[in-house]
Amino acid sequence: MTAFGNQQKTISPFDPVRIAAELSVRFAATAASYDESASFPFENIRLAHEAGLIALTAPVEHGGAGAGLAVAVEVIRHVARGEPSTALILIMQYINLATIPNSGWPQNLIQRVLGDAARKGSLINAFRVEPELGTPVRGGLPKTTARRAKGGWTISGRKIYSTGVEGLTYAVVWARTDEADPRVGAFLVPLEAAGLAIEKTWNPLGMRATGSHDVVFEDVRVPSDHAVDIRLPSEWGGRGEGQAAWFGLLPGALYTGVAEAARDWLVTFLRNRVPTNLGQPLSSVPRIQHAVGEIEELIAVNRRLIASAAGDIDRGLPLPATEANLIKTVTTENAIAAVEKALKLTGNHGISRNNPLERHHRDVLCGRIHSPQEDTVRVEAGRIALGI
C-alpha cells in the first residue's frame, strides 16, 4: 500500500498471464487487418513492451521479469488467441532471452542485448534457414560465409523465413567461416549494419504478419567479439534438453491459442444460429454438443500436457529433447484437428472471409512447418525406442 495525502492506492503485482489475456482482446480487434495487409504488428509489439512482456524471460538482473517456461507458455497461448503472428515473434524473443545468459557469449554483448530488450523493447531472433540449405536441423553447412577482416568479420549470404525481421534490433546469423577448416555458428549482427538489406518476400497462407522476409548480407562488418559462438561442425550437436523444451512447448502453446480462438468463435456461432427448420439454436443439438466436446478434449489435453512439461522444466526435472519434440508434434496436430472440426460444423460460414474461422484455419496449419517437422521427430523417437 502506498499513501498520498489521505488516499491509499494498492499497487498490483506484475501478472504477465493476466496482462497477456487483456492484451489478447486488443490484438484480436486488429488481427484481420494484419492478416490482410501482411504488415508487421508494430503496435502490438509496442503495447507488449509497455506492458512488460518483451523482456519477460530475461533475468531480473538484466531488467527482465525472469519468467520461466510455465509462465511463457501461458503468455504465448493468450497472445496467440488474439494475434498469433505477434505470439510467434515473442516466442523467438523469449527463447533467445532465456538462453543467451547461459551461453558463452561475451558478457558485454549479453548485457547489451538483454538490457536493450528491457529498456527499449528491442527484439532479437536467429537467422538460420537458407535457400540452398533449408533448415540446419536436417544437417549441412550454411552457404552464408564470414570472412576475416581488420578488427572482425564480414558476412555475406542470404537468409529466408527470417521471422520478425522488420522489427528486430539484432539478428543471430548462422554462418560458416572461410577458414581452411571452416567453423560454423552464430554471429551477432545489428539490423542497422551497412550492407544488410531486407527483401519483402513473405506472402504465405497463414501467420501473415510475422514479416518473415529474406535478408541479404553483402560484406556486413561486425567486430571480432560478435562471433559469439563458432565451432567446428563436429562440435555441434542437437539442441540441449532445456532449449529443446522451449522450442517444443512454445509453438504448441501458440497453436493451442489459435484453436481456442476458433473454438470461441464457433461457440458464439452455434449459440446464435437458429435454422428455421430447427426452431432453436444449433447449440441445442446433441450431435453438435458431442462435436464441440471433441474440440474441448483436444484443447484440454494440449493445455495440460504443455503446462505439465513446462512445470517440470522450471523445477529442473529432465525432459528429453525427443519427448519435447513429440509434445510439439502432438499439440500442433491436436490444434489443427480442433480447428478442422470447427470448420465441419459451420459449412460455408466457416470458410467465409467475413468470419475469422477461416483465418484461424490458415494460421493453425502453419504449425506443421516449424522445425523439427513431424517426420524427423517420429523417426528419431522410433530409433530410440528400437535402440538403433
- pLDDT higher for 78 or 277? 78
Instruction: Answer whether residue 64 is part of any domain.
Output: yes
Instruction: Answer whether residue 6 is part of any domain.
Output: no
**Residue 3 confidence (pLDDT) above 60:** no
**Do 212 and 223 lie in a common domain?**
yes
Domain boundary among 68, 103, 122: 122
**Residue 356 confidence (pLDDT) above 90:** yes
Domain boundary among 122, 137, 154: 122
Instruction: Answer whether residue 207 is part of any domain.
Output: yes
Domain count, the chain: 3
Average pLDDT over the chain, rounded to an integer: 93
Report pLDDT for 239: 60
**Do 220 and 344 lie in a common domain?**
no
Instruction: Answer whether residue 4 is part of any domain.
Output: no
Q: Please, which pLDDT band fits residue 139 given cuts at 50, 70 and 90?
A: low
User: What percentage of residues in the chain have a pLDDT greater than 90?
Assistant: 86
Q: What backbone phi and psi angles, to 5 degrees, belong to 152?
A: 170, -135
**Do 184 and 303 lie in a common domain?**
no
What is the CATH classification number for the domain harbouring 347? 1.20.140.10
**Residue 214 confidence (pLDDT) above 60:** yes
**Residue 304 confidence (pLDDT) above 80:** yes
**Do 360 and 252 lie in a common domain?**
yes
Report pLDDT for 83: 98
Look at phi and psi of residue 157 and say left if phi exceeds 0, alpha if psi is from -120 to 50, else beta. left
Question: Which residue in the block uniquely carries the three cell numbers 497462407?
Answer: 205
What is the CATH classification number for the domain harbouring 86? 1.10.540.10
**Do 281 and 379 lie in a common domain?**
yes
Report pLDDT for 242: 63
Instruction: Answer whether residue 212 is part of any domain.
Output: yes
pLDDT digits (tens, 9 = 90+) for 14-32: 999 999 999 999 999 999 9
Domain boundary among 191, 216, 233: 233
**Do 362 and 330 lie in a common domain?**
yes
Q: Please, which pLDDT band fits residue 1 given cuts at 50, 70 and 90?
A: very low
**Do 135 and 193 lie in a common domain?**
yes
Domain containing 27 equals: 13-122
Residues in contact with 124: Cβ distance below 8 Å, sequence separation at least 6, in sequence order: 92, 93, 96, 97, 113, 117, 168, 169, 170, 171, 172
Instruction: Answer whether residue 196 is part of any domain.
Output: yes
**Do 289 and 261 lie in a common domain?**
yes
Instruction: Answer whether residue 2 is part of any domain.
Output: no
Q: Please, which pLDDT band fits residue 137 given cuts at 50, 70 and 90?
A: low
E-only strand ranges, the chain: 2-4, 7-9, 124-127, 145-149, 152-162, 170-177, 184-190, 196-199, 213-223, 229-231
**Do 320 and 352 lie in a common domain?**
yes
**Residue 309 confidence (pLDDT) above 90:** yes
**Do 19 and 95 lie in a common domain?**
yes
**Do 245 and 379 lie in a common domain?**
yes
What is the CATH classification number for the domain harbouring 166? 2.40.110.10
Which whole number is the average pLDDT over 169-188?
95
**Do 228 and 313 lie in a common domain?**
no
End-to-end CA distance of the chain: 61
Is residue 123 within 8 Å of residue 117, measured between CB atoms?
yes
Which whole number is the average pLDDT over 76-89?
98
pLDDT digits (tens, 9 = 90+) for 255-290: 999 999 999 999 999 999 998 888 899 999 999 999
Report pLDDT for 261: 98
Beta pairing, strands 213-223 & 196-199? antiparallel
The whole model's pTM is what?
Answer: 0.92
Q: Please, which pLDDT band fits residue 2 given cuts at 50, 70 and 90?
A: very low
Report pLDDT for 240: 56
Instruction: Answer whether residue 298 is part of any domain.
Output: yes
Report pLDDT for 218: 98
